[in-house]
Amino acid sequence: MMSSQLSGFLIHYTFKDVLLGGISLYLVYGILLCIYRLTIHPLAQFPGPKLAAATFWYEFYYDLFPHKLRYLWKIEEMHKKYGPIVRINPIHLHINDPNYLDEIYAGGKRKRNRDAWYYRSESNGPLGWSVFQTVDHDVHRMRRAALNRFFSKRSVQEHEEMIIDKIEILCGRFAEAYRTGDTVSLTFACGALTMDVISAYAFGAETDNLTRQDFGAEYLEAYSKLSQFGPVGRQFPWLAKACLTLIPSSLMHRISPAAALIPRNRLFFRGMIEESVRQQEEGKRTKSEGLLEAEKESQKNKSIFQDILRSNLPPSEKAPARLAAEANLLVIAGTETTARALSLVLFHILDNPQTLLQLREELRPLMPHPDSRVSVAALEALRFFPAVITEGIRLSHVVSSRMPRYAPEETLRYSKWIIPAGARVMQSHYLHHMNPDIFPDPYTFNPHRWLDNPELKQNYFMGFGKGSRICLGINLVYAELYLTIARLLTRFDMRLHETIRERDVDVKRDCIIGLPSPEGQGIRVRITQDKAG
Ligand code: HEM
């Protein structure tokens, strides 16, 4: 009966008819959806371009084609036209108001969820299941609690010697470049340092990028490519999913050697996690036999997995696939971000001779010799150096993007506007840090602004975000920045080499992290003196 009905249907309708019918239905659906978004959608009354409110293709035009990663600057224009609150796409409300940060990025008991659409929070993504992509406030709190201790100030202090050892390898490379007269790419040298540090810190692993001729540049490029892929994943989730799951790694390597590194890393972490589980089992057994040797051994090469495996998290949270996502996140979050901040702070110091002079004068009593050793605590207690670091992070726009949140159970109020519970609301870090009302003459590198107004940092510094999802790695970042900059500036004289701020430094593309223009050639220096040589 069924088959005769079907054959009847096929006789009457050709493939072309079915195709045309499908397309027509899709168009009708699209038109009805646009009408809904412009009329009875909960955000329909908010100001902004109608086209942006009706369809995601508006954002596509600026972020993917024909423009690339430029929607942030279109959002800036929208604010000039429509005011401080704008509906920038069918589901996002963007606010540009420095006094409304604490409402969006609230902490404590006020629940703030992440927006799955923007972060492409899928379980099979490279960062799926990680603390960064966790949508739900309560699940996030649980995952975050298991990581906090590992990145506390005390824990970073315990790793200070390791960080100093890595910086010494970097110094060796600078000394060699001084002898040979070679140019050093600060972009890649800093990437090598930060990846070697986070790998040793979090996993007790040696990635040895600092000793590679090209500083393991492929990793930094891979992470950068992954970020640039973000808007594609947002607009075409099925494509992102297919790339991540269906393309065999050999083919992926041929399409993009950089992208192929990501699944390779995942496998590497899986191996490491399995080893941690094995060590933990071994530890339990030997402990019950009264022997602590295995425990001691595992402490020597301590990895974050051991902490998570010992934590109170439920067993499903300790599954290898979830831990691998957490590991991937830590390497990605800990490498490119800190590398960009470090190379950009160094750029601004070298580009501002007065700052360099003042900084060296401040460092001299603490580090009188080219080989003087110093602690992070001593450097943090200085007056000018912390202001240089804060200003450098502000201008490096490491995280440039909008960071969407939603309050699942709370109605928010902004001026005369009522933002319904569940509505996605956000500010962009780049626009905030370039706001001339808070940071007069925002393009200028001026560390004194933080000294002249001691409340500025507490109230308006967004370098690491705010609230319950503030950056996990802050203490590690500061340790890396203080120790490296102090050590390099005390031992070496260097000058910028063919580095143009507008081309190589300024952020021209936004893909969660801020990137310079595609023509950018990185930040490069020539070493003009090695005082220890
Ligand atoms: C200069 C370097 C860095 C900057 C500027 C930076 C900035 C940020 C910002 C702005 C956020 C908040 C994002 C949001 O509001 O949604 C964040 C989150 C995060 N960062 Fe960093 N970061 C840096 C380095 C690091 C390092 C070294 C690590 C390594 C542990 C790290 C790990 C994380 C993690 C895990 C999160 C997610 C936190 C959560 O959702 O609970 N970051 N970072």
Instruction: Work out the number of other CB atoms within 10 angstroms of the CB of residue 388.
Output: 25
pLDDT, mean of residues 432-438: 98
In DSSP notation, 242-280 reads: HHHHTS-HHHHHHH-HHHHHHHHHHHHHHHHHHHHHHHH
pLDDT of 291 strictly over 50:
no
The sign of the CA dihedral 370, 376, 382, 384 is: positive
Pocket-testing residue among 390, 472, 474, 510, ligand 1, by greatest number of atoms within 8 A of Cβ: 472
Q: What is the per-residue pLDDT for 298?
A: 45
Q: Which is nearest to 265 in space by CA: 311, 211, 334?
A: 334
Q: What is the per-residue pLDDT for 134?
A: 94
pLDDT, mean of residues 330-344: 95
Q: How confident is the model at residue 309 (pLDDT cuts 50, 70, 90)?
A: confident
Q: Which atom of ligand 1 has the smallest separation from the CA of 130?
A: 35
pLDDT of 129 strictly over 90:
no
Distance 398 CA to ligand 1 centre (A): 10
pLDDT of 297 strictly over 60:
no
Lowest mean pLDDT among 21-30, 120-129, 480-489: 120-129
Q: Give the H/E segment covering residue 227.
A: helix 217-228
Q: What is the per-residue pLDDT for 269?
A: 72
First to last CA, the chain: 92
The verdict on whether omega for the bond into residue 66 sits within 30 degrees of 0, i.e. cis, is yes
By residue range, what is the domain housing residue 211? 91-286+293-530
In a domain, 122, yes or no: yes
- In tens, the pLDDT along 275-285 reads 777 777 776 65
In a domain, 454, yes or no: yes
pLDDT, mean of residues 150-179: 97
pLDDT of 151 strictly over 90:
yes
Residue with CA closest to ligand 1 atom 36: 471
Q: Which atom of ligand 1 has the smallest separation from the CA of 465?
A: 10
Q: Which residues contact 19 (CB under 8 A, 6 or more apart)?
A: none
| Ligand 1 pocket, residues with Cβ under 6 angstroms | 131-132, 144, 151, 198, 329-330, 333-334, 337-338, 341, 393, 398-399, 403, 463-465, 469, 471-473, 476-477
In a domain, 66, yes or no: no
Distance CA 354, CA 345 (A): 14
- In tens, the pLDDT along 211-240 reads 999 999 988 888 888 888 888 888 888 777
Q: What is the per-residue pLDDT for 100?
A: 98
pLDDT, mean of residues 247-273: 70
Distance CA 297, CA 124 (A): 33
In a domain, 17, yes or no: no
Are 350 and 392 in contact, with CB atoms under 8 Å apart? no
- The count of domains in the chain is 1
* Residues 476-497 as b or e (16 or more Cβ within 10 Å = b): bbbbbbbbbbbbbbbbbebebe
pLDDT of 296 strictly over 50:
no
Distance CA 26, CA 21 (A): 9
Indicate yes or no: pTM above 0.90.
yes
Residue with CA closest to ligand 1 atom 35: 472
In a domain, 196, yes or no: yes
pLDDT of 137 strictly over 90:
yes
| Residue 243 marked as a ligand binder | no
pLDDT of 161 strictly over 90:
yes
Q: How confident is the model at residue 288 (pLDDT cuts 50, 70, 90)?
A: very low
User: Higher-confidence residue: 264 or 95?
Assistant: 95
Q: What is the per-residue pLDDT for 330?
A: 92
Q: Which atom of ligand 1 has the smallest separation from the CA of 134?
A: 40
pLDDT of 505 strictly over 60:
yes
Q: How confident is the model at residue 7 (pLDDT cuts 50, 70, 90)?
A: low
Q: What is the per-residue pLDDT for 232?
A: 86
* Residues 140-149 as b or e (16 or more Cβ within 10 Å = b): bebbbebbee
Question: How far is CA 424 from its chain centroid?
Answer: 20
Distance 477 CA to ligand 1 centre (A): 9
Residue with CA closest to ligand 1 atom 34: 472
| Average pLDDT of the residues of the chain | 90
- In tens, the pLDDT along 417-432 reads 999 999 999 999 999 9
Q: What is the per-residue pLDDT for 292?
A: 42
Q: What is the per-residue pLDDT for 341?
A: 98
pLDDT, mean of residues 377-386: 98
Q: Which atom of ligand 1 has the smallest separation from the CA of 477?
A: 27
Q: How confident is the model at residue 121 (pLDDT cuts 50, 70, 90)?
A: low
Instruction: Work out the number of other CB atoms within 10 angstroms of the CB of residue 157.
Output: 14
Angle between helices 257-288 and 293-300 (to 10 degrees): 150
Q: What is the per-residue pLDDT for 218?
A: 87
Lowest mean pLDDT among 50-64, 73-87, 201-215, 439-453: 201-215
CATH number, domain at 361? 1.10.630.10
Q: How confident is the model at residue 251 (pLDDT cuts 50, 70, 90)?
A: confident
In a domain, 337, yes or no: yes
In a domain, 521, yes or no: yes
Distance 39 CA to ligand 1 centre (A): 38
Output phi, psi for 351, to 5 deg.
Answer: -80, -10
Provide, rounded to the nearest whole percent, the portion of the chain with pLDDT above 90.
73
- Cα 530 to Cα 85, 86, 172, 494: the distances in Å are 53, 53, 10, 9
Instruction: Work out the number of other CB atoms within 10 angstroms of the CB of residue 383.
Output: 8
At which residue do the structure tokens 């040298």 appear?
189
Distance 426 CA to ligand 1 centre (A): 17
Q: What is the per-residue pLDDT for 405?
A: 98
CA neighbours closer than 13 Å in the CB half-sphere of residue 317: 20
Pocket-testing residue among 141, 471, 480, ligand 1, by greatest number of atoms within 8 A of Cβ: 471
ipTM exceeding the 0.95 mark: yes
In a domain, 81, yes or no: no
| Angle, CA of 457, 463 and 467, to the nearest 5° | 80
Question: How far is CA 404 from its chain centroid?
Answer: 14
User: Higher-confidence residue: 96 or 327?
Assistant: 96
Distance CA 385, CA 376 (A): 11
Q: How confident is the model at residue 125 (pLDDT cuts 50, 70, 90)?
A: low
Distance 337 CA to ligand 1 centre (A): 8
> Hey, is 495 helix, strand or coil?
strand
pLDDT of 289 strictly over 60:
no
Q: Which atom of ligand 1 has the smallest separation from the CA of 335?
A: 27
pLDDT of 339 strictly over 50:
yes
